[in-house]
Structure 1
Amino acid sequence: MAAYIVFTRESTSDQAELDAYSKAVAPTFAGHPARILAAYGTQDVLEGTPPEGVVIVEFPTIEAARAWYDSPAYQTVVQHRWKGASYRAVIVQGV
C-alpha cells in the first residue's frame, strides 16, 4: 500500500543551509522507488497557520519510505535541512 512522506517547512533560519540541501537531495533518491508529488507549490490554506512550504513524496510502502529516509545518503544531506529550517515530517499510509 502506498505511503507518503509529507514535509512542512515551518520557518527558515539559514537559507544557505537550505540551498546546500536543495542541491544535494536529488541524488539520494537513486535506487529508491520514490515519486515527488508536490514541492513548494502554491497553497490554499483551509485551516491553521500556513507553513512556508510543503513537499509530498510517494513511496510504494512505509518500509520503502523509511529505507530512503534512513539511508546513509539522505541522513548525510538532511543535516543541512535541519540546520536551515524548522520542519515537520511524517509518513502516512495511503488508503
Structure 2
Amino acid sequence: MNGYALAHLHSQSSHDDVLEYLERIQGTLDPFGGRFLVHGPPVEVREGEWPGTVVIIEFPSLDAARSWYDSPAYQAIRHLRTDHIAGSAILFEGVRDGHDPAKMAAAIRAAR
C-alpha cells in the first residue's frame, strides 16, 4: 500500500528560507519515490474549519514515507519551513485496491 505525508499549513510565507526549502525538497523525495499529489492550493471548506492549505506527498509505502521524513537530507531542510510556517504534518497508509467501506462497516459491527 502507498504511504502518504500530509501537511496542514496554517499560514503562507515567501521568506527566503521557505523558498530555499521549496528549491531543495524534491531532491529529498526522489531517493524514496516521493511525489507531490497536492501542493498548497486554496481549499474549499465544506464542513468545519480549515485555516490554511494542504500538501499531500505520495510514497510507494509507509516505510518509504517514514524513511524520507527521518532522512538526514530532509531533516537538514525541515526547519526552513517550520521556522516560518505553522502547521501539522502526519504520515499514514492508504487503502488497498478494492477497498469496500460497506465491508469495513460490517466488520466493525461484527466486532462490537
TM range (shorter): 0.7 to 0.9
Q: Secondary structure at the match of 2:31?
A: coil
The answer for the alignment partner of 1:31 in structure 2 is 31
RMSD of equivalent CA atoms:
1.7
Indicate the larger mover: 9-18 or 23-32.
Answer: 9-18
7-16 or 50-59, larger mean C-alpha shift: 7-16
Q: Which amino acid aligns with 2:50?
A: P
| Higher RCO (C-alpha 8 Å, min separation 6) | 1
The normalised TM-score by structure 2 is: 0.75
Higher strand share: 1
The question of whether the paired residues in 2 share the 8 Å contact of 1:39 and 1:54 is answered with yes
Number of residues paired by the alignment?
Answer: 95
Q: Please list every run of 5 or more consecutive structure 2 residues that lacks an aligned counterpart in the other structure.
A: 96-112
TM-score by length of 1: 0.87
- Answer 1 or 2: which has greater helix percent: 2
Q: What stretches of structure 1 move > 3 A for 4+ residues in a row?
A: none
Q: For residue 87 of structure 1, report the CA deviation from its aligned partner.
A: 1.5
